Structure 1
Amino acid sequence: MIHPALRAYQTVTETSLTGREAEAVCFRMLIDELEAANQSADSQVRSRALDRHQRLWSMIMKANILDNGLTTEEDRRLFVRLADQAQKYGVQAILDPEMSLVPLIEIAENVLAGLEMAPGGSEQGSSALA
């Protein structure tokens, strides 16, 4: 007989996302929010989307500054550079409400495509949020 707590744990782990899948979900949500903000005339919608954009890339940068031994230095440098570029454009978009959010959407779509193309099943996720 399996203990109820163990059964509950097994149920959760069978349906939980891998690290890479969770990262892909984050980027899908970011893309949706940026697209909505790019189409909206509501400054609050735009501000909220840009705030989330900046926070996500800040987490990615922080995760890749330190070597956790799971990611090559080349990949870490790539993610830090990408995060830096995305955040710089994000700051400009915050300061200029007329700037298009399309470049930020394209960056997020490219990252999402990379996450979806990579071999699945990685429990540790990609270097993005490791």
Structure 2
Amino acid sequence: MYQNDGMRAYRNTVSASLSDREADAMCFRKLITELKLAEHTDDILVRNEAISKNQRLWSLIQKANAVDLSVVDNEDRLLFLRMADAAQKYGIKALLYPERPIGPLIDIAQNVLDGLTQTMTDEGAGTP
């Protein structure tokens, strides 16, 4: 009986857990929110913190896709690496030049979020 209760609790936890795509989407939603707040403030520290978070997220994505573990198609890996490179290069310029708008960072993050949420919708509808 104890084992059944334990298995039931485990199944409930697993079913309530986020998928990898859902977790990625959540990260991008939070990043977009922070970048948008930073876009409309004159506080350079808030702006730089948001850009730094952008840099860290893209660095993690770059690291995850740098090694081929045969989990993600090579074409997709290269796309993520190119996007990470572009986002980080722009982020560095935005840190160095406070007058540079951060709208392009928001656009990149929004494009990724749109792709993630579209994929989740397709998977939920049974589309391969």
Q: TM-score, normalised by structure 1?
A: 0.87
Match status 1:108 vs 2:105? no
Q: Deviations over 1:62-88 (max 9, x none)?
A: 111100111111111111011000000
- Report the alpha carbon displacement of residue 10 of structure 1 after superposing the two structures with TM: 2.1
CA-atom RMSD in angstroms: 1.3
What amino acid sits opposite 1:10 in the alignment? R
8 A contact 1:57–1:83 mirrored in 2: yes
Partner of 2:81: 80
- Report the alpha carbon displacement of residue 103 of structure 1 after superposing the two structures with TM: 0.2
For structure 1, list consecutive stretches of 5 or more residues without a partner in the other structure. 122-130
- Report the alpha carbon displacement of residue 25 of structure 1 after superposing the two structures with TM: 0.3
- Report the alpha carbon displacement of residue 2 of structure 1 after superposing the two structures with TM: 4.6
**Moved segments of 4+, more than 4 Å:** none
Q: Which structure 2 residues correspond to residues 10-89 of structure 1 after superposition, within 5 A?
A: 10-89=11-90
Count matched residues.
Answer: 121
8 A contact 1:20–1:120 mirrored in 2: no
Greater Rg by CA:
2
**Aligned residues with identical type, % of pairs:** 50
Structure showing the higher helix proportion among its residues: 2
How far apart are the structure 2 equivalents of 1:120 and 1:40? 38
8 A contact 1:40–1:46 mirrored in 2: yes
How far apart are the structure 1 equivalents of 2:34 and 2:6? 37
